[in-house]
Chain A
Amino acid sequence: MKHLLKKIISGLFLLLLINPVIAQTDIDGVMMEKGAFCVGPMYGHSSWKNYWEGTLKRDNANLGTVSTTMYNIMGNYGITNKLNVLFGLPYVKTKASAGQLKGMKGIQDLSLWIKWKAYSKKIGQGRLSLFAIGGYSLPSSDYTSDFLPMSIGLESKNISVRGMVDYQRGSLFATVSGAYIRRSNIEIDRTAYYTTEMHYSNKVEMPDAASFNVRAGYRNKGAYAELVLDNWTTLGGFDITRNNMPFPSNKMNATRIGFNGKYPMPFIPQLSVVGNVFTTIAGRNLGQINSFGAGLFYVLDLSKKEKKDTKTL
Chain B
Amino acid sequence: MKKRYILPALFAFVLASSCSKDITERNMEFPALQPASLDINAGIWKPILITGPTEFPVPAPIATSSPDYVLQINEIKSFQANMTSTEKNAVKYWSAGAVLRWNEIMRELVAKHNVAPVNNPDGTYPIPSAANPLAYPLFPFANPPYAARAYAYLAAAQYDALVAAWHYKKLYNRAAPYQVDATVNCLIPKSDLPSYPSEDAVVEGAAVEILKLLFPGDQQFIQQKAEEHKRARLIAGANVRSELEAGEALGKSIAQKFVTRARGDRAGATAGNQTLWTQLETDCIIRGEIPWISQESPKRPPMLPAFGKVNPWLFDSLTMVTTIRPAAPPSTSSQQFKDELAEIYNYSIKPTREQIRIAHFWADGVSTYTPPGHWNAVACEDFVKQNFSEVKWARNMGLLNMSLMDAAISCWDAKSFYFNPRPSQMDPRIKTITGLPNFPAYISGHSTFSAAAATILGHIIPARVADYTAMAKEASLSRLYGAIHYRSDCEKGLETGNKVGAYAIARARTDGAE
A interface residues, Cβ below 8 angstroms from B? 61-62, 79-80, 83, 98-103, 114, 116, 118, 132, 134, 142, 144, 146-147, 159-161, 180, 182, 184-185, 188-194, 197-201, 203-206, 208, 241-245, 247
Contact of A102 with B431 at beta-carbon distance under 8 Å, contacts A114-B9, A200-B26 already known = yes
B111 A101 Cβ-Cβ under 8 A: no
Contact of A142 with B353 at beta-carbon distance under 8 Å, contacts A116-B6, A194-B111 already known = yes
In the complex, chain B residues whose CB is within 8 Å of the CB of A243? 115-118
Q: Does B317 lie at the interface of the complex (its beta carbon under 8 Å from any beta carbon of A)?
A: no
Q: Does B245 lie at the interface of the complex (its beta carbon under 8 Å from any beta carbon of A)?
A: no
Q: Does B66 lie at the interface of the complex (its beta carbon under 8 Å from any beta carbon of A)?
A: no
Alpha-carbon separation in the docked complex, A189 to B433 (Å): 13
Alpha-carbon separation in the docked complex, A242 to B10 (Å): 41
B436 A100 Cβ-Cβ under 8 A: yes
A244 B295 Cβ-Cβ under 8 A: no
Contact of A191 with B377 at beta-carbon distance under 8 Å, contacts A134-B13, A242-B136, A245-B367 already known = yes
In the complex, chain A residues whose CB is within 8 Å of the CB of B25? 199-201
Q: Does B17 lie at the interface of the complex (its beta carbon under 8 Å from any beta carbon of A)?
A: yes
Q: Does B86 lie at the interface of the complex (its beta carbon under 8 Å from any beta carbon of A)?
A: no
A100 B424 Cβ-Cβ under 8 A: yes
With CB as the reference atom, state the residue of chain A lying closest to B362. Answer: A190
A83, A184, A198: which contacts B108 (Cβ < 8 A)? A198
A134 B10 Cβ-Cβ under 8 A: yes
B1, B23, B363: which contacts A199 (Cβ < 8 A)? B23
Chain B 355-369 residues near chain A, CB threshold 8 A:
356-357, 360-361, 363, 366-369
B368 A102 Cβ-Cβ under 8 A: no
B115, B360, B431: which contacts A242 (Cβ < 8 A)? B115
B interface residues, Cβ below 8 angstroms from A? 1, 6, 9-10, 13-14, 16-17, 21-28, 104, 107-108, 111-112, 115-118, 136, 138, 295-298, 348, 351, 353, 356-357, 360-361, 363, 366-369, 374, 377, 424, 430-433, 435-436, 483
Q: A189-B360, A194-B368 are in contact. List 7 more A-B contacts (CB 8 A).
A: A61-B297, A100-B295, A116-B10, A159-B16, A184-B21, A208-B17, A241-B367
Contact of A200 with B27 at beta-carbon distance under 8 Å, contacts A61-B297, A182-B17, A191-B361 already known = yes
User: What is the distance, in angstroms, from A101's C-beta to the closest C-beta of chain B?
Assistant: 6
B16, B17, B21, B27: which contacts A185 (Cβ < 8 A)? B21
In the complex, chain A residues whose CB is within 8 Å of the CB of B28? 200
Alpha-carbon separation in the docked complex, A213 to B368 (Å): 37
Contact of A245 with B366 at beta-carbon distance under 8 Å, contacts A100-B424, A102-B348, A161-B14 already known = yes
A241 B115 Cβ-Cβ under 8 A: yes
Alpha-carbon separation in the docked complex, A142 to B17 (Å): 24
User: What is the distance, in angstroms, from B471's C-beta to the closest C-beta of chain A?
Assistant: 12
A198 B367 Cβ-Cβ under 8 A: no
With CB as the reference atom, state the residue of chain B lying closest to A205. Answer: B21
Alpha-carbon separation in the docked complex, A98 to B436 (Å): 13
Alpha-carbon separation in the docked complex, A142 to B24 (Å): 23
Alpha-carbon separation in the docked complex, A102 to B430 (Å): 8
In the complex, chain B residues whose CB is within 8 Å of the CB of A197? 108
With CB as the reference atom, state the residue of chain B lying closest to A116. Answer: B6
In the complex, chain B residues whose CB is within 8 Å of the CB of A144? 353, 356-357, 360
In the complex, chain A residues whose CB is within 8 Å of the CB of B16? 159, 182
B9 A203 Cβ-Cβ under 8 A: no
In the complex, chain B residues whose CB is within 8 Å of the CB of A159? 13, 16-17
27 A/B residue pairs, CB under 8 Å, sorted by A: A62-B297, A100-B430, A100-B431, A101-B431, A101-B432, A102-B483, A114-B9, A116-B10, A144-B357, A147-B356, A147-B360, A159-B16, A161-B13, A182-B16, A184-B21, A190-B368, A192-B368, A193-B368, A194-B111, A194-B112, A198-B104, A198-B369, A201-B26, A203-B23, A242-B115, A242-B117, A242-B138
In the complex, chain B residues whose CB is within 8 Å of the CB of A114? 6, 9
Contact of A192 with B369 at beta-carbon distance under 8 Å, contacts A161-B10, A205-B23 already known = yes
A interface, by DSSP: helix, strand, loop or mixed? loop
Alpha-carbon separation in the docked complex, A200 to B368 (Å): 11
Most interface-central of A100, A192, A200 (chain B CB within 10 A)? A100
Contact of A79 with B1 at beta-carbon distance under 8 Å, contacts A114-B9, A242-B118, A242-B136 already known = yes
In the complex, chain A residues whose CB is within 8 Å of the CB of B107? 198
With CB as the reference atom, state the residue of chain A lying closest to B428. Answer: A100
Alpha-carbon separation in the docked complex, A192 to B373 (Å): 10
A189 B356 Cβ-Cβ under 8 A: yes
User: What is the distance, in angstroms, from A147's C-beta to the closest C-beta of chain B?
Assistant: 7
Alpha-carbon separation in the docked complex, A132 to B13 (Å): 12
B9 A102 Cβ-Cβ under 8 A: no
B369 A134 Cβ-Cβ under 8 A: no
User: What is the distance, in angstroms, from A238's C-beta to the closest C-beta of chain B?
Assistant: 11
A100 B361 Cβ-Cβ under 8 A: no
Alpha-carbon separation in the docked complex, A48 to B377 (Å): 37
A101 B435 Cβ-Cβ under 8 A: yes
Alpha-carbon separation in the docked complex, A243 to B115 (Å): 7
With CB as the reference atom, state the residue of chain A lying closest to B5. Answer: A83
Alpha-carbon separation in the docked complex, A215 to B357 (Å): 42
Most interface-central of A184, A200, A201 (chain B CB within 10 A)? A200
Contact of A134 with B9 at beta-carbon distance under 8 Å, contacts A101-B435, A243-B117 already known = yes
With CB as the reference atom, state the residue of chain B lying closest to A80. Answer: B1
A244 B13 Cβ-Cβ under 8 A: no
A99 B297 Cβ-Cβ under 8 A: yes
A201 B23 Cβ-Cβ under 8 A: yes
With CB as the reference atom, state the residue of chain B lying closest to A193. Answer: B368
User: What is the distance, in angstroms, from A130's C-beta to the closest C-beta of chain B?
Assistant: 13
With CB as the reference atom, state the residue of chain B lying closest to A142. Answer: B353
With CB as the reference atom, state the residue of chain A lying closest to B105. Answer: A198
With CB as the reference atom, state the residue of chain B lying closest to A132. Answer: B10
B367 A190 Cβ-Cβ under 8 A: no
A102, A190, A208: which contacts B432 (Cβ < 8 A)? A102
Q: For the complex of A and B, list the 6 residue pairs with the smallest distance between their C-beta atoms, beginning with the closest.
A: A102-B431, A194-B111, A61-B297, A182-B17, A198-B108, A189-B360
In the complex, chain B residues whose CB is within 8 Å of the CB of A206? 21
Alpha-carbon separation in the docked complex, A102 to B347 (Å): 12
In the complex, chain B residues whose CB is within 8 Å of the CB of A79? 1
With CB as the reference atom, state the residue of chain B lying closest to A196. Answer: B112
Alpha-carbon separation in the docked complex, A101 to B435 (Å): 7
